[in-house]
Amino acid sequence: MSDMADLPVQLPEAPRSAAAGRARFFNSGNAFNIKLPPVPAADFAAVLAEAEAPGARTGLYACDQAGALGCPFPATTPLMLARYARIRPGETLALDLTATGLIVHALRGRGDAGDFTWDAGDIFLLPGGPAALHASEDTLLWIVTDEPLLALDAARPGPVPLAPVHYPAPEIERQLAILADCTTNPGTSGLAVIFSSDTLEAARNLTPVLTLSLNTLPPGDAQPSHRHNSAAVTLVLQGDRCYSTIGDQRCLWTPGTTLVTPPGEPHSHHNGGAVQARFLIVQDGGLHYHARTMGFAFLDR
């Protein structure tokens, strides 16, 4: 028998629509072993020198290590982008950044942002979107935004909508049957189908930020106590004499019940009945995988 962790991505057997054809399936053995490059410790002295050079143009100078991070968009860390902005005397820097906001520190110079003027040493916040920064003196600014976070949420820069994806119930049952013929290893977090799509296959998510899994527990079995930094919203689908422990609480299962597991909280799942338990879990796991902060760990191993 194959180990679940060694299975390749699974495609639908006979999709009857374009939405069904986009479906991709992973499992609890191969969905959570994504190997992303670590976040490098970095020194952007060379970028500062370029921005400070006497002949430097008015513009932005990014502290970008997207290549080292494996990001398809500029990034200093997985969720932040830092830049220097050089503005020559009498010139204006026009910005239109896809960011929630811009944190700005004036390293030197003086100028105005339309509503106010700044001097060297000032710190200010600007909303994302169109902005114009005019300098009355030679100016060097340091700017940090959350552009990588917003780019991640859209799967690429800009507001790109996700295409419909369909996972018919018979195909889901087929995927569960594939896993029933596999073994597991001590690092496998459970027996679950992980839902993805053709465009997000590499990330193994359903959206850039959210993960969706159909978890199962055999009769009389339990998933050991564990924790992770993502929050989880659980929908109970089926189970008899099942419950979860979340922190010091015992939460009984009733089909149709929604449970919330806070981030970082120890929890376990238990099936004391005679039928397989099934529960659907949505987590903000894609965000934590990208940030390298998932922190999954079994607590009694």
Computed over every residue of the chain, the mean pLDDT equals 89
Residue 153 lies in a domain: no
pLDDT at 160 over 70: no
pLDDT at 294: 87
* Residue 174 sits in the same domain as residue 261: yes
If asked whether residues 174 and 30 sit together in one domain, one would say: yes
pLDDT of residue 189: 67
211 and 100 share one domain: no
pLDDT score recorded for residue 298: 86
Examine the pLDDT at 158 and tell me if it is beyond 50: no
The answer on 263 and 125 residing in a single domain is no
Mark whether 173 and 32 lie in a shared domain. Answer: yes
User: Residue 114: which CATH number?
Assistant: 2.60.120.1030
- Give tens-digit pLDDT for 280-297: 888 988 888 888 898 888
139/171 same-domain check: no
Task: Find the domain containing 252 and state its range.
Answer: 4-37+161-298
Whether residue 60 is found in the same domain as residue 19 = no
Percent of the chain with pLDDT over 90: 50
Structure tokens at 57: 């143009």
Mean predicted confidence (pLDDT) in 201-205: 88
Please compute the mean of the pLDDT values over residues 87-103 and round it to a whole number: 94
d(CA 172, CA 26): 11
Query: Does 99 share its domain with 52?
Result: yes
pLDDT of residue 61: 96
- Tell me if 25 is assigned to some domain: yes
Confidence band of 157 (pLDDT split at 50, 70, 90): very low
User: Taking Cα atoms as reference points, which of 207, 205, 173 lies closest to residue 278?
Assistant: 173
In a domain, 150, yes or no: no
If one counts the domains in the chain, the total is 2
The pair of three-digit structure tokens given for residue 94, joined into one six-digit string: 């026009």
Report if residue 151 sits inside a domain.
no
Has residue 193 got a pLDDT over 70?
A: yes
CATH number at residue 263: 2.60.120.10
My answer on whether 86 and 126 are in the same domain is yes
Q: Look at the alpha carbons of 240, 29, 70, 143 in this order and tell me if their dihedral is positive or negative.
A: positive
